[in-house]
Structure 1
Amino acid sequence: MEKFNGKWELVPESYENMDAFSEKLGVPKEQMDLIKSLVMITTLKLEENKLHVLVEYKDQPMKQELCFTDGEPLDYKELDGSEMTTEYTRKGDRLHEKHKSVSKGTTMEWTVERYIEGDMQVAISSKDDVSMTYKMKRV
C-alpha cells in the first residue's frame, strides 16, 4: 500500500464519462464545469490504519487536510460547504471509498476504487450502473 504514498496531480484529459456520472449524481452543470476547470493535487500518506490526505488545487488558495481511519466513517465539510461522510477501506492493493454528500437538501452517494498502474493512480467513481474514471500522475 506504500505505493499510494506521495503527491498526485489530476490529469484533466483523463476524465472518462464525467458528464454521465455527474448527471447521475445530480450535479448542476455550473458545478460540473467548475470541477472540470480545477486541477486537484492530492498528497496521501498511509500508515498503520490511518490515511492522511491533503487536497490542494493548482493555482488556487483552497486546501483541505483530513485523516481517515480504515473502516470508520468520517464526517466533514467539503470546500464548498457541503456535508460529507467518507469511509475508506483497504482491499488488497486497492483503496475503496464510500461517499455521501448533502448539499442544499440534495443527497448524493457514490463509491470510488483506487489502484496504482505504473506511475499513475487510477480512480473509478461509481453510482448505480454509471462509472467515471480519471487518472492522477505522481509528482
Structure 2
Amino acid sequence: MEKFNGKWELVPELYENLEAFSEKMGVTKEEVEMLRNAIMITTIKIEGNKQHMTLEYKGQPMKQELYFTEGEPLEYKGIEGSKMTSDYKWNGDRIAEKHKAEKEGTTKEWNVERYIEGEMLVAKSTKDDVSMIYKMKKI
C-alpha cells in the first residue's frame, strides 16, 4: 500500500477521546499531558508483506525502528520500557494491528487500525469498548 509510505507528523489538536482511552489503558494524567504535547514523527516504508516503521518524537532523543512481516508477531522493547508483542495484517486498504505490552506484572492489550483519509493518516486505537483517534499529516 504505497499511500502509507512516507514521513508523517502527529497533529495533536486532532486527538479524539485521548483522555478516556488513556484512562482505560491505565495511563496517568501526567503521561496524558506528555502525550498531548509530544509531536510524534512516524516514517513508514511498506514493500510487499514487509513494513519498516521509524518512530521519533520531535525535540527528543528517542528513536525506535521496527521491522514487521505481515502475520508474524514481532517482539521488541517499547519506548517506555515494556515488553511488546505486535502483529499486523492488511484488512483491505487498512492496516490492522494487535498489540500486547507487559511491564511490572501488568499486561495491556489493544488494537490499532490505520488508514488514509484524504491527506491524513488516521490511527484508531481500541481497548475493549473505548477508542481513540489521532491523525498525522504527511511532511
Q: How do 1:38-53 residues align onto structure 2 when only pairs under 5 Å count?
A: 38-53=38-53
TM-score normalised by L of structure 2 = 0.96
Tell me which amino acid in the other structure corresponds to 2:124. Answer: I
In 2, Cα distance between the equivalents of 1:2 and 1:62?
26
Alpha-carbon offset, residue 29 of structure 1? 2.0
TM-score normalised by L of structure 1 = 0.96
Any stretches of 5+ residues in structure 2 without a counterpart? none
Tell me if 1:12 matches 2:2. no
Tell me which amino acid in the other structure corresponds to 1:112. Answer: V
Match of 1:121 in 2: 121
Tell me which amino acid in the other structure corresponds to 2:28. Answer: P
In 2, Cα distance between the equivalents of 1:117 and 1:20?
23
Question: RMSD of the alignment, in Å?
Answer: 0.9
Any stretches of 5+ residues in structure 1 without a counterpart? none
Tell me which amino acid in the other structure corresponds to 1:133. Answer: I
Tell me which amino acid in the other structure corresponds to 2:83. Answer: E
The SS at the match of 1:13 is helix
In 1, Cα distance between the equivalents of 2:74 and 2:122?
23
Alpha-carbon offset, residue 31 of structure 1? 2.0
CA deviation string 1:89-123 (max 9, x = no partner): 11110001001111222111100001101210011
CA deviation string 1:56-76 (max 9, x = no partner): 111111101110010111010
Moved more, 20-29 or 129-138: 20-29
| Structure showing the higher strand proportion among its residues | 1
Match of 1:70 in 2: 70
The SS at the match of 2:14 is strand
The SS at the match of 1:109 is strand
Q: Percent identity?
A: 65
Moved more, 22-31 or 95-104: 22-31
Match of 1:60 in 2: 60
The SS at the match of 2:30 is helix
Aligned length: 139
In 2, Cα distance between the equivalents of 1:106 and 1:49?
31
Please list every run of at least 4 consecutive aligned residues from structure 1 whose deviation after the TM superposition is greater than 6 angstroms.
none
